[in-house]
Amino acid sequence: MLQFDQVSKSYPGGFVALDRISFRLEKGEMAFLTGHSGAGKSTLLKLISLIERPSAGRVLINDIELSRIKRSQIPFVRRDVGIIFQNHRLLMNHTVFDNVALPLVIEGFTGKEMVKRVHAALDKVGLLDKVRCLPATLSGGEQQRVGIARAVVNKPPLLLADEPTGNLDPDLSKDTMRVFEAFNQVGVSVLVATHDLGLVARMKYRTLTLKHGRMINDGLLQYQEPV
């Protein structure tokens, strides 16, 4: 599904945010991406979502090398990648329905098919009863789930989340992770960037660990809860 092959990223000024990163995420696999603040997690996700370009190496989605695609093809690759942001980035003066429908509107969906898909996405995150609400009337956890519904509404095979539990308490964080697990269980590949090591260790998934732009671990995380 996703492959990094010796990928480096230097920002203007020469700062090396990622240093020769290689890994594969198989179709239907779920993994965490962790590391200290500034380790390169967001940069890695930005390379997948084509917000940034690598300075060296190759990023492939479904065997398509992202640096080789034409700009006109970018929307088609982006369609395969659902992205969940920490701060939701919801349109606050639009209803939950409108927020979730946005990716479909961009793709030209209308009428019954659009309504059906929006309702299906909201159902998956348990928010069908909030379809007519404005985001401001929802709790932080519910707003996060609206963001997830929007990311999955056009059924991307790959889901990326950048610190999705950053603003949530431990119970809500766990709920959010259960939502990702549910998508993973129906075949979606999931990559979740988080610095919440306690949560990561409890979930028992493959964990990619970055430190100063280098991959220092790839496997189950061994972590002792602080006492």
Closer to ligand ADP by CB, 189 or 209: give it. 209
The distance of closest approach from Cβ of residue 97 to ligand ADP in the complex, given in angstroms and rounded to an integer, is: 32
The rounded distance, in Å, linking the Cα atoms of 71 and 153 is 24
d(CA 7, CA 112) in angstroms, rounded, equals 43
Identify which of residues 86 and 176 has a Cβ nearer to ligand ADP in the complex: 86
Binding residues vs ligand ADP (CB under 6 A): 11, 15, 17, 35, 37-43, 70-72
Q: How far is the CB of 20 from ligand ADP (least distance, A)?
A: 15
Asked if 123 and 132 count as a contact pair (C-beta separation under 8 A), the reply is no
Hey, what's the torsion of the CAs at 41, 164, 46, 76, to 10 degrees? 150
> Smallest distance from the beta carbon of 45 to ligand ADP, in angstroms?
8
Which residue, 73 or 110, is less far from ligand ADP as judged by CB?
73
In the complex, least distance from residue 204 CB atom to ligand ADP, rounded to whole angstroms? 22
Closer to ligand ADP by CB, 75 or 170: give it: 75
Directed axis angle between helix 140-152 and helix 111-124, to 10°? 130
Whole-number Cα distances in Å, 113 to 34, 76, 80, 84: 38, 20, 19, 23
**CB nearer to ligand ADP: pick between 45 and 138:** 45
Report the Cα–Cα distance between both ends of the chain, in Å, rounded.
39
Nearest to ligand ADP of 18, 203 (CB atom): 18
Instruction: Count the Cβ atoms, other than its own, within 10 Å of residue 204.
Output: 9
Q: How far apart are CA 126 and CA 145, in angstroms?
A: 8
Residue 34 CB, shortest distance to ligand ADP, in Å, is 9
How near is the Cβ of 93 to ligand ADP at its closest, in Å?
29
